[in-house]
Chain A
Amino acid sequence: MATFKRSRFWALFLAGCLLFPAVAPAEDFSLNPQDRDLLKKIQKDTFYYFTRMSDKETGLTRDSSRPGSPASIAATGFSLAALAIGASNKWVPEEWAYEALRKTLKNLLTKAQHEHGFFYHFLDPRSSRRVWASEASSIDTALLVAGALVAAQYYPGTDIERMAHELYNRVDWQWMQNGNDLVCMGWKPESGFLPYYWDTYNEHLIIQALAIGSPTHAIGRNAWNAWQRLEDDYNGHHVVYGNSGSLFMYQFPQAFIDFRNLDDAGVNYFTNSREAALANRDYSLAVRHLHKGYSEFSWGLSASLGPGGYKAYGAKPGEGLEDGTIAPYAALSSIVFTPKESVATARFFFDQYANDLYSHFGFKDSFNLDKHWWAGEYIGIDQGVTLLMLENFLNDGIIWKKFMDLEAVKKWIEVCKLRAKGTTPSS
């Protein structure tokens, strides 16, 4: 009898783990079934942005849901990962997702305009040609490649894997250094390399990982050491911060890279992102008397649309630009760092503002209660990071596992000696 009870206990425990898996976030957190259902709904709705906003032939995904928007190469990268996630969750048929991935990767390899493997930031969704005189962009190409490699991990031994690696191997990361240790932000045929380099902490960690780990055009370890680690405190939160203090900088690379077991000379960037998210929330709370929208359940300062256009909203440490505008994706995409705060915020946004803020593809980009302003559109990359972070959170860090399993990522960790003491590649 005692044995039966013990086995039933373990069966229930296992079932609980399967139903509500913990992603090993920074704190103990249990997700109740109602919130889990809500997050699943948000994730699924967010996913459909990528099926609806991608061209049927080329697979290129529009930068935003606004009519006339060009295709964004970074949004396309998120779309590649999204298609694999969508198929694995059975939101779309497996064969359809595979064919869409194959078409998109083939188009990227054979038709889409690029320079030394770096894609132009904006392309015409139908012709795949450069538009708006945009730059061949290092960060947007890195996000595209990261998305392609995630898709490759979902389809090992197939054309998807082969084409994704071909796309990655083609990127000449050394060329984008332009003779420096740092990686340049971009290049234009008319004027050459942009005068800006990835020189402080921000979303470029994904470039670093892919460029240092590249099997064909790897850059040296100097690149990892060359960028500045600016550190500061805000309200008791110590953060290696990016200039704008926008939350997306702490999120985009970590939608792919699992930093939990990595250590950069004493800095753990997972913990750093948690601290940044909490500082971001505290920063809003500190000025809530000035803005109607800010509260303990309503926060999230990140680059987003606002009443006066697209701005790099953010908190301190950093510039701390805010005007009462909140981007729901900011709190949602921090869910792996701050599950309790992020889930409560998602619930609050949905319960309070669904009529104005929630539509076919999940939460719209932003809102500002002071000005009674609600964004009418979705931004592709914000949708992408939301989807991937929710997948990591709800599905036991599956994107992290798949990405960290790449040889290139292992090489980057090895070259930069990032493995935390006492951990193994599999821990």
Chain B
Amino acid sequence: MAANQRKNFFINKPLQIRFMLYLTLPVMIITTVIMVGLYIGIWGNMLDAFSNERVRNDLLTASRLTEYENARLPEGQQESSTLRFFKQAEKLSARQREVFKDILDDTNKKIIPKFMLLLVFMAWGTVFISHKIAGPFFRFSATLEEVTKGNMRVRIHLRKKDEGRSIAARFNKTLAFLDDTFSQIKSIIRENDSNRDQMAAKLKEELSKIKTSGDV
């Protein structure tokens, strides 16, 4: 178990750092937009809702609405000034709850479309980034398929910004080596068809350069 534990997490530092940025940057942007949106939305509205002018207007409205209600009551049922004061306070507190709810609703309304837009960007970004890996995987797979069929002339060609270009170069080098080796063997057979002993000696020499599981 301990033998399988990774000792070095950075196997391919530039690639891993690049992918770290690919993931962290969008998450950071989304978080920042949401945080700034919430901050500006909530506090901007709060500052407006609780400005001196608004508070003064709300106090006057609370007082006015209580007076309206009182004016509708018959003489015997009209409320004392103390009770009216408490009613005003009650109205004002109900109003503040409405204001808070409106601010949060308003902020949500503004944030949600932005968040959705960012999700679309994220989805598009994910496809774009994954294409840099999925593309080379596809090409490796298709090339290996050709090699399995015996075609040693194939090579892997990746796009300029695809991931895995260095591996592809090494892979192509390996393929070139195999291609050269098999070409050399074919050439020996072709050139020494009349002299079998010479052919066997040359093939032996050529094959001795290759290490295989069948070597004794």
Indicate, yes or no, whether A interacts with B.
yes
Residues of chain A whose beta carbon lies under 8 Å from any beta carbon of chain B = 64, 66-70, 122, 124, 127, 131-134, 185, 196, 243-244, 303, 309-312, 319
Q: Evaluate contact between B61 and A132: CB separation under 8 angstroms.
A: yes
**5 tightest Cβ-Cβ pairs between the two chains A and B:** A68-B57, A310-B67, A312-B71, A133-B94, A243-B74
Is there a chain A Cβ closer than 8 Å to B60's Cβ? Answer: yes
B:46-95 near A, CB below 8 Å = 53-54, 57-58, 60-65, 67-68, 71-75, 91, 94-95
A301 CB, min distance to chain B CBs, angstroms: 13
* Chain B residues with CB under 8 A of A131: 95, 98
A-B contact pairs, 30 of them (CB 8 A): A66-B60, A66-B61, A66-B64, A67-B53, A68-B54, A68-B57, A68-B58, A69-B57, A69-B61, A122-B65, A131-B98, A132-B65, A132-B94, A132-B95, A133-B91, A133-B94, A185-B72, A196-B72, A243-B75, A244-B71, A244-B75, A303-B71, A309-B63, A310-B64, A310-B67, A310-B68, A311-B71, A312-B71, A312-B72, A319-B75
B66 CB, min distance to chain A CBs, angstroms: 9
Residues of B in contact, count (CB < 8 Å): 22
* Chain A residues with CB under 8 A of B95: 131-133
Report whether over half of chain B's contact residues are helix, strand or loop; otherwise say mixed.
helix
Q: Which residue of A lies closest to B84 (CB)?
A: A309
Residues of chain B whose beta carbon lies under 8 Å from any beta carbon of chain A = 53-54, 57-58, 60-65, 67-68, 71-75, 91, 94-95, 98, 102
* Chain B residues with CB under 8 A of A69: 57, 61
* Chain A residues with CB under 8 A of B65: 122, 132, 134
- A69–B67 Cα distance when bound, in Å, is 14
Q: Evaluate contact between B71 and A67: CB separation under 8 angstroms.
A: no
- A196–B94 Cα distance when bound, in Å, is 22
Most buried by B among A64, A244, A312: A312
Report whether over half of chain A's contact residues are helix, strand or loop; otherwise say mixed.
loop
- A421–B71 Cα distance when bound, in Å, is 38
* Chain B residues with CB under 8 A of A243: 74-75
* Chain A residues with CB under 8 A of B57: 66-69
Which of A64, A70, A133, A310 sits near B71, CB closer than 8 Å?
A310
Q: Evaluate contact between B61 and A70: CB separation under 8 angstroms.
A: yes
- A134–B95 Cα distance when bound, in Å, is 10
- A66–B63 Cα distance when bound, in Å, is 13
Q: Which residue of A lies closest to B57 (CB)?
A: A68
Further pairs besides A69-B61, A132-B65: 6, Cβ < 8 Å: A66-B57, A67-B57, A68-B54, A310-B64, A310-B71, A311-B71
* Chain B residues with CB under 8 A of A319: 75
A427 CB, min distance to chain B CBs, angstroms: 36
* Chain A residues with CB under 8 A of B67: 309-311
Q: Which residue of B lies closest to A318 (CB)?
A: B75
B94 CB, min distance to chain A CBs, angstroms: 4
